[in-house]
Amino acid sequence: MNENKEKGYGEEIQFTRSSVVVFFIFLFHIFRGFASGRGFKQRPPGAGGNHRKSEVDSYIAEASFLSKCIRCGQCGVVCPTQERGEETAKAIQFCKSGFDQGTPYIEPRKAACIMCVDKPCVVACPTDALDLGKLDIEQSIMGTAEIVSPKGCLAIQGLRCEVCYNRCPLIGDAIKLEKRVNRRTKVHIIYEPVVDSDVCTGCGICEQVCIADEAVIKVRQYYPPFKDPDFYKFKGSS
Amino acid sequence: MAISRRDFLKNTAAAVALSSLTGISTEAKTQLNEDKNELLKGTKTFKAPCRFCGTGCGVQIHTKEGKIIMTEGDPKAPVNMGLNCIKGYNLSKVLYGKERILYPEIRKNGKLERVSWDEAINYIADRYKKVLKEKGPKAVAIAGSGQWTIPEGYVAAKFMKAGLKSNNIDPNARYCMASAVAAFIRTFQADEPMGSYADFEHADVFVTWGANMAEMHPILFSRLVAQKETTGAILFDLTTRESRTSDEAESVLVFKPQTDLAILNAIANYIVANDLYDKKFVEKNTRIKMAQIEPGYGIDPISAPHLAAMENAQRGRKKAGAGTPMTFDQYKNFLATYTFDYASKISGVPADKIKKLAQAYADPSLKVMSLWTMGFNQHTRGVWCNHLIYNIHLLMGKISEPGNGPFSLTGQPSACGTAREVGTFAHKLPIGVVMKKAHREIAAKIWLGDAKKENEIPSKPGFHMTKMMREFERGNLDIMWVQCCNPFTASPNISRFRDRSLNKDSMLIVSDSYRTASTDLADVVLPAAMWVEKEGFYGNAERRTQHWFQATLPPGEAKEDMWHILAVAEKLGLGHMFPDKDDPQRVKKIFEEYRQFKTGSSKDLAPYEEYVKARGLCWPVVQDKKTGEWKETLWRYNAKYDPYASKALGGKKEGIVFYKAKGKKATMWCCPYEPASEVPDNDYPFWLCTGRVLEHWHTGSMTARIPALHRAVPYAKLEMHPEDAKKLGVKRGEKVKISSRRGTAFYEVDTHGRGRPQKGLVYVPFFDENNPINMLTLDHYDPISKEPDYKKCAVKIEKA
């Protein structure tokens, strides 16, 4: 008994090298799942310095943004009010609960970022939580659009919708149309919207305007292309 | 609407499968006119044409307990083969939008108050009686629509022309394709295109002239692009603003507004000067006339005093529509000025681009399809533009053959069916025109029972739509009845028409389903049933007449527009002319009466029952004498397809003959380039062009009520060239003040949208009822067709 007790409390738990690797891979997957799924929050442009020219990864930018945001609400004040018929809405809203309570986020289905040319929210931010440097708003990364349920997309079914393409602020660049002949009718074209995630800013206008009951195109976390293939490799492993 | 598509399909799969397996269409079994309550039982499937543009896509309507739960493209419909555009997909929601008008209303002490149908009808009828007695039939008018069903339009035309003896009836189609009609009549002495949508699968070259088909005729454009992808056909796009259509084009010719006339003549000149034309065809099938030059611009000095002098000078000339015969050599001499360099200088399009286009037209081995809509039609020289395109096709003999032909597209679901075929225009009858005694005799025989009563139908054309609005504004019309349209948003220069200070004593009746600017100004508002809340027929751009049954009950006390007119007609003692307003067989009876006009006229229609079965039939629908089968005609004037052409050629099964034309020869009209009426100057340096977007239809009175479409495009933006924006110091997303000599409005600037205007031109769609661009447009029109030009006026733009 005594021996056992001593063993339990006294000795350091010996991590094998492989168990550490497994643990990190586990963590990484949780992070990825967290980031690409429900956990993703679309932040205003330049959150945590996330833009085309920066090297930061989107979830590192998120952590950086959370540490720098002082929850002052200035970005929401300057965010322009959008007319929605009788209703009005602002793109920037604030988290009401949780560990990030008071931080700004965007819910595109309600009101997407309209990508103001003069970036009022970035200018208004007293810290550098929202930071685009001297870059244009087109260089910001709020996420990237993704057709999450292609089966529900009218354009892919051959119907002439393409509203996401038509309303995209970077029409033809961020969303492109791929053509193919409709195999059923043989005399119609199908315009399939395809997102170029290296151009898409993730403003969310496509998600807002999608005419399906639940948007089939949604803003998701953006992962930059792997520049360094060894980036995620555990350096210590042999 | 809570039932999802999948749930619904699960529930009704069995029923639908059964009906398709047995080969009996469900709609045939659910002929429910006799018992309205039948509509409310179980789930049912109906067919109908789409209610929006002139393409006429077929849709299937699924109802459950009398409510439409879903619509989808009809795979059996030859027009769209089961596909729809974004508007067609949302069709069912158009019936269930917010703020439907449910009850008749009369303005009392400045406020619209709910009244009973009896009171509303009596109120209208009493007023009619008083006005007809005191001022005669010239003081009443009906502003109709190409959205009327065929029976509705027919009843309205008969009510006015034979009942009240007034020709003051005109549809909003006047704003849409009157120029195309006038050119068809002047060239072929018969209205409507010769080809059909089947042309798309045969053409080698497509040319879009001022038509953004990608957005305005989305399903047809889908066919066009598929043809390009599968066969390598090419597309030339001629436009003043690059659009989604231009994105697909191999060659985009961006020309300065109005200079299309010069480009068209330059192409004809290339063909004639190089002797490339089809001499046999030209000799056999055409004659040439010189058009009356400088016929004026239909400008009202009140709205444009700065142009009054020019207008007066031009108006002093002969009739705008007059023409003098010409020889081919004279025509050749006339064209000689229009070299590529000259056309290039005027239009700003590089000469080699025009040459390539001309070569495509002139190559006898290429099948060319020219397509156009409002760019040509809404043009102060719209009829001329239409003529010039026919000239090119006639010179090359590229007409009335599969894949070869000029094709005039339409914008309203029944612009062809109701406005043109029924003849709801101020000068038309269901067959022919009011000016001709022979035509009036046919009408009098069917309408009044005796050809000798032709003198009862007035022989002078009534007010066309623009004139009607002007006369109403000045208080010269005592009653104006607006049905199925919204002229107080759609008319050019509406600020003057919305002012009701001069016509306080006139009565404005509006039959509509939703509240619009027109109902806001109305004295009497009547709730109208729309689309499948009533039975009807529509006729699309390829002469296809399509029938649908009532699928659901209208909300509140709404009644079909025809019922409104029949109720008033009854009170005015004209009830004997029409079937009873509540007769379940009324649509059939009216259609069969209307069909008498067409039988034997080369515009034959099939009996009612045939349309119930078919997914539409393209007229002339002629019965095969042996089999008794009713056969549609896809290519008119071509003896291979058109029995009338075959007859005109003495039974031959080959060859083209314009059998309706005078001497069987189509007229080539020789029309010069003439400048636009209001051109940008130092004070107003920009051109303004208006139009539509894919998501919305016309003034948005329906599509803006569909939440998904409203969310897709909530308001109109002003499209501008990025360099112009830079010069003005405005950035994308900022507001600008745009003003013309007639009005001012504020819009958000878009420099990188789906449309990219040329430098010096701005584009604003007109669907935004809260911010109508028609406050600025000029009410000038083509002096021949009387169709206003919405595409050109001068504006200035300032940073707001």
Fold observed for domain B686-777: Barwin-like endoglucanases (2.40.40)
| Nearest CB to B219 within list A160, A169, A184 | A160
Determine the pLDDT at residue B158.
Answer: 95
| Phi/psi at B723 (5° precision) | -70, -35
User: Does the annotation count B81 as an active-site position?
Assistant: no
Active site residue B663: no
CB contact under 8 A, B81 and A118: no
What is the structure's pLDDT at B325? 94
Task: Provide Rg for chain B, Cα atoms.
Answer: 25
Query: What would the two tokens of residue B557 be?
Result: 């006390």
Please, which pLDDT band fits residue B211 given cuts at 50, 70 and 90? very high
Question: For B305-334, what is each residue's pLDDT tens digit?
Answer: 888 888 887 776 668 888 899 999 999 999
Question: What gap in Å lies between CA B438 and CA B499, rounded to an integer?
Answer: 42
Marked catalytic residue, from B177, B194, B480, B720: B177
The full set of domain ranges for chain B reads 5-96, 178-281+319-412, 686-777
Q: Is the pLDDT of residue A163 over 90?
A: yes
Measure CB to CB from residue B81 to each of A114, A188, A189 and give the nearest one: A188
Express each pLDDT in B623-673 by its tens digit: 988 999 999 999 999 999 999 999 999 988 999 999 999 999 999 999 999
**pLDDT score of B20:** 39
Q: Which of A114, A186, A208 sits opposite B711 (nearest CB)?
A: A208
Which pLDDT belongs to residue A100?
A: 82
CA geometry: angle at B708 spanning B703 and B713, to 5°? Answer: 70
Minimal CA–CA distance to B442: which of B428, B461, B426, B424? B428
Q: Indicate if B799 belongs to the active site.
A: no
Residue B68: pLDDT over 70: yes
For residue B778, pLDDT beyond 70: yes
- Domain residue limits at A173: 143-224
Q: How many whole angstroms separate alpha carbon B603 and alpha carbon B619?
A: 6
Q: Which of B715, B732, B752 sits opposite A171 (nearest CB)?
A: B752
For A190, which residue in chain B has the nearest alpha carbon? B222
- Cβ density class A68-92: b for 16+ within 10 Å, e for less: bbeeeebbbebbeebeeeeeeebbb
Q: Which listed residue (B378, B412, B550, B758) is catalytic?
A: B412
Residues A156 and A121 in one domain: no
Q: Do A209 and B711 touch (CB under 8 A)?
A: yes
For residue A183, name the pLDDT band (cuts at 50, 70, 90): very high
Q: Based on the fold, state whether residues A138 and A148 are members of the same structural domain.
A: no
- Residue where a domain terminates, one of A142, A169, A198: A142
∠ CA B217-B222-B223, rounded to 5°? 105
Taking CB atoms and an 8 Å limit, are B89 and A161 in contact across chains?
Answer: yes
Kindly state whether residues A191 and A87 are assigned to the same domain: no
Q: Do B226 and A188 touch (CB under 8 A)?
A: yes
When pLDDT is cut at 50, 70 and 90, the band that residue A33 belongs to is low
CB contact under 8 A, B225 and A189: yes
Number of domains chain A contains: 2
The DSSP bridge pattern shows strands B666-670 and B286-291 to be: parallel
Q: Indicate the DSSP class of residue B453.
A: G
A132 and A151 belong to one structural domain:
no
The 8-class DSSP code of residue A36 comes to H
Of A181, A185, A211, Cβ closest to residue B90: A211
Reference B209, options B254, B248, B274; nearest CA is: B254
Q: Encode pLDDT of A115-156 as tens digits.
A: 998 899 999 999 989 988 888 999 999 999 999 999 999 999
b/e string for A95-105 if b means 16 or more Cβ within 10 A?
Answer: eeeeebeebbb
Mean pLDDT of chain B: 90
Q: Is A5 part of any domain?
A: no
pLDDT at residue B37, rounded to an integer: 62
Under CATH, what is the fold of the domain B178-281+319-412?
A: Dimethylsulfoxide Reductase; domain 2 (3.40.228)
Average pLDDT rounded to a whole number, residues A215-226: 85
CA distance B278 to B332: 14
Minimum CA–CA partner of A162 in chain B: B86
Enter the pTM of the model: 0.89
Q: Are residues A117 and A157 in the same domain?
A: no
How is residue B217 written in tokens?
């005729």
The closest of B446, B465, B10, B50 to B217, measured between CA atoms, is B50
Question: What's the pLDDT score for residue B525?
Answer: 96
Residue numbers in A near B89 (CB within 8 A): 154, 159, 161, 211
A158 to B83: CB separation less than 8 angstroms, yes or no:
yes
Q: For residue B301, what pLDDT is reported?
A: 85
pLDDT at B227: 95
CATH 3.40.367.20 fits domain B5-96: no
Would you place residue B65 in the very low, low, confident or very high pLDDT band (cuts 50, 70, 90)?
confident
Task: Output DSSP code: residue A37.
Answer: T
* pLDDT greater at residue A227 or residue A104: A104
Q: Would you say residue A189 lies in a domain?
A: yes
B221 vs A contacts (CB less than 8 Å): 160
Q: How high is the ipTM of this complex? A: 0.90
A67 is written with which tokens? 């540490």
Q: Which of B529, B407, B512, B487 is nearest to B36 (CA)?
A: B529
Domain C-terminal end among A124, A142, A160: A142
Contact state of B709 with A184 under an 8 Å Cβ cutoff: no
At B117-138, the pLDDT tens digits run 999 999 999 999 999 999 999 9
Taking an 8 Å cut-off on Cβ atoms, the answer to whether A159 and B89 are in contact is yes
Residue B177 catalytic?
Answer: yes
Partners of residue B201 in chain A, C-beta under 8 Å: 187
Note whether A40 and A123 are same-domain residues.
Answer: yes
Q: What percent of chain B has pLDDT over 90?
A: 81
Q: What is the b/e burial string over B129-160, where b = at least 16 CB atoms within 10 angstroms of the residue's CB?
A: eebbeeeebbbbbbbbbbbbbbbbbbbbbbbb
Omega before B620 cis (within 30°)?
yes
Q: CA triplet B216, B217, B222: central angle to 5 degrees?
A: 125
Shared domain check, A131 and A33: yes
Residue where a domain terminates, one of A88, A114, A142: A142
Structure tokens at B169: 């009836």
- CA torsion angle B502 B507 B508 B510 (round to 10): 170
User: Are the Cβ atoms of B83 and A179 closer than 8 angstroms?
Assistant: no
Question: In this structure, are A83 and A115 located in the same domain?
Answer: yes
Q: How confident is the model at residue B5 (pLDDT cuts 50, 70, 90)?
A: very low
Whether A61 shows a pLDDT value over 90: the answer reads no
Asked if B715's CB is within 8 angstroms of A160's CB, the reply is no
Question: What CA–CA distances, in Å, run from B453 to B398, B436, B450, B577, B595?
Answer: 44, 14, 6, 14, 20
How much is the pLDDT for B560? 93
State whether A160 and B85 contact (CB < 8 Å).
Answer: yes
B176 belongs to the catalytic site: yes
**Structural domain contains residue A238:** no
Does residue B189 have an active-site annotation?
A: no
CA of B50 to nearest chain A CA: how many angstroms apart? 14
Higher pLDDT, B7 or B794: B794
pLDDT digits (tens, 9 = 90+) for B571-599: 999 999 999 999 889 999 999 999 999 99
Pairs across A and B, CB distance < 8 A? 103
Residues A29 and A118 reside in one and the same domain: yes
A67 and A89 belong to one structural domain: yes
- Alpha-carbon separation of residue B86 from A189, B59, B297 (angstroms): 15, 13, 37
Residues of chain B positioned with their CB less than 8 A from the CB of A184: 81-82
Same structural domain, A181 and A152? yes
CB nearest to A159's CB, from B83, B225, B714? B83
CATH (domain of A206): 3.30.70.20
Same domain? For A96 and A195 the reply is no
Rounded to an integer, what distance in angstroms lies between the CA atom of residue B153 and that of residue B171? 9
> Which residue in B487, B544, B545 sits closest to B521, CA to CA?
B487
What pairs with residue B208 in β-bridges?
B237, B371
Same-fold call for B5-96 versus B178-281+319-412: no
pLDDT score, position A36: 46
Annotated catalytic residue: which of B44, B47, B87, B598?
A: B87
DSSP three-state, residue A177: strand
